[in-house]
Chain A
Amino acid sequence: MSHQLRVNPIACSGHGVCAELLPEIIELDPWGYPILRSATVPPALVPHAQRAAATCPTLALILQRAQSRRP
């Protein structure tokens, strides 16, 4: 099961915490808003992604388990 990252761009106000905690995936644009290099989070980075999502001051970073295929 893979994990996917999304940013709610309305909620995001560009604190930049996520880029500090997850530089492997997130970089900041010239205005300080996050750019995701890839939406899929490699298993090794999942704990860091969880911490980044939980620490976001506006809860704009969303980590979801990718939906598995229906049986």
Chain B
Amino acid sequence: MTVTAPPSLPARSAALPRLLAGLGYQEVLSLTEHERRYGLLWLRGPSGRRRPERLIDIVEAAGLTGRGGAGFPTGRKMRSVAGRGETVVVANGAEGEPASAKDRLLLARLPHLVLDGITLAADAVGATEAYLCVHRQEHDLIDGLAAAVAERRAAGLDPVPIQITGIPGRYVSSEQSSIVQYLNGGPAKPTFSPPRPHESGVRGRPTLVNNVETLAHVALIARHGDRWFRGAGLSSAPGSMLVTVGGAVRWPGVYEIELGTGAGEVIMLAGGPAEDLQALLIGGYFGAWLPVEVAWPLPMTQAGMRAVGGALGAGIVVALPGSSCGLAETARVIRYLADQSAGQCGPCLMGLPALAGAVADLAFQGGRGRTVNAVTALIPLIEGRGACRHPDGATQLARSAMRTFIGDARWHDHRGPCDGVRRAPLVPVPGDEEGDWDWI
């Protein structure tokens, strides 16, 4: 007897899985298994001749972009650091977004893919130091990574030793300038730029900071080439990406998709809606709320999401059911973002709590006919005025909430909170007790 999937589920892409091909049953892929699954890693070409910068050409031709949220072309970033003396590579595995789980999945289950990518990047840009940064409170993850690094040391794999570094768990501490300042012995807070890390980073050296998923893609591009990479996704946005799907879907989790896959298809991959949906949060805390009928056909690409005032971010998709209140969800996230401010820049230090208060007022008090205006007046006073993009993430989310839930907002404004505010929170927001509140 055969069991077939429900007809509503989309056919799996023939090009996938790529990154997740070696995912086993709840265990770490050992170095031996990793090499069997993905193939051996060659830092020297078969002829024995070394031209490490060649990898940068291939990554550039592949069209790989950063998978940490900003979507900057990876090849160009590598080129800005390469050939400038002794450089530094930093792999950013400190997944700040509570709604994202993909970096942790890679690091916990497929660490050698990321470690291969670090070694390749270090080789290509002439690095003499390499760091893999994760949140320091994740002791099990750090232990697992240390074991993987030891396995590779025994096999003589990494010419530049990879240092596993625990960094503070604050939301803005995983911003690239925060990591650089922390590695330089300072607090894990964003810095004023220029200089940017590629100009002057760790110990003043040109520093390449890449997300761990980006580096895992580099590990596969080095093995299979740029044409293979372009065999998935769109010509304007090639390759695959990891997405974390949550909220009201039947099978929440991390999925690998081709870039350009429709947002609705992503929901169907995750088993489809668990109840009637009203909106999708795409891009996580740095993304935007979109009405479900607008979001459903949209391609999962940076350009596709920017066109509707959103962002692809780190590939987060949260499905909001009709019975939830989008304003209440937004209020909780913005309160969290306000609490996570480094408190360095006035507009963020003063503006985010004010915005959080105004959105909370609208969501949970309302009924006075002026709370909508209070929110919309604050947004332009905060946007673009911090040293990092932290305040802009909060304003983009607030702006999208005021667009997508404007009907609800007017209702709240005149009559008070809707029934949805009593539903349990759907978008994950860590409580204070889980926090690592120190900066150094």
Contact = CB atoms under 8 A, between A and B. Distances in A.
A14 B351 CA distance: 13
A29 B347 contact: yes
Contacts of B16: none
Contacts of B345: 9-10, 12
Contact of B385 (A11, A13, A32, A35): A35
B381 A9 contact: no
Contacts of B192: 8-11
B365 interface: no
Contacts of B347: 9, 29, 31, 33
Top 7 A-B pairs, shortest CB-CB distance: A9-B345, A33-B346, A31-B350, A10-B344, A8-B192, A10-B387, A10-B192
B356 to A, nearest CB: 15
A30 interface: yes
5 contacts: A8-B387, A9-B192, A9-B346, A9-B347, A29-B381
B386 interface: yes
Contact residue range for chain A?
A: 10 to 19
Interface in A1-38: 8-14, 29-33, 35
Interface of A: 8-14, 29-33, 35
B191 interface: yes
Nearest to B345: A9
Contacts of A14: 346
Interface string B379-411: 001000111000000000000000000000000
Nearest to B191: A10
Nearest to A12: B346
Nearest to B190: A10
A9 B385 contact: yes
Interface string B2-39: 00000000000000000000000000000000000000
Contacts of A35: 381, 385
Of B345, B346, B381, B386, chain A has the most CB atoms within 10 Å of the CB of B346
Contacts of B354: 30
A62 to B, nearest CB: 10
Nearest to A29: B381
Interface in B345-389: 345-348, 350-351, 354, 381, 385-387
A31 B351 contact: yes
B191 A33 contact: no
Interface string B186-225: 0000011000000000000000000000000000000000
Contacts of B350: 30-31, 33
A9 B344 contact: yes
Contacts of B348: 9
Nearest to A33: B346
Contacts of B344: 9-10
A9 B390 CA distance: 13
A41 B345 CA distance: 23
Contacts of A33: 346-347, 350, 385
A26 to B, nearest CB: 13
A9 B386 CA distance: 6
Contact of A31 (B191, B346, B386): B346
A9 B193 CA distance: 11
A8 B192 CA distance: 7
A9 B351 contact: no
B222 to A, nearest CB: 34
A10 B347 CA distance: 10
Given A9-B347, A13-B346, A29-B351, 17 more contacts: A9-B344, A9-B345, A9-B346, A9-B386, A10-B191, A11-B192, A14-B346, A29-B346, A29-B381, A30-B354, A30-B381, A31-B346, A32-B346, A33-B346, A33-B350, A33-B385, A35-B385
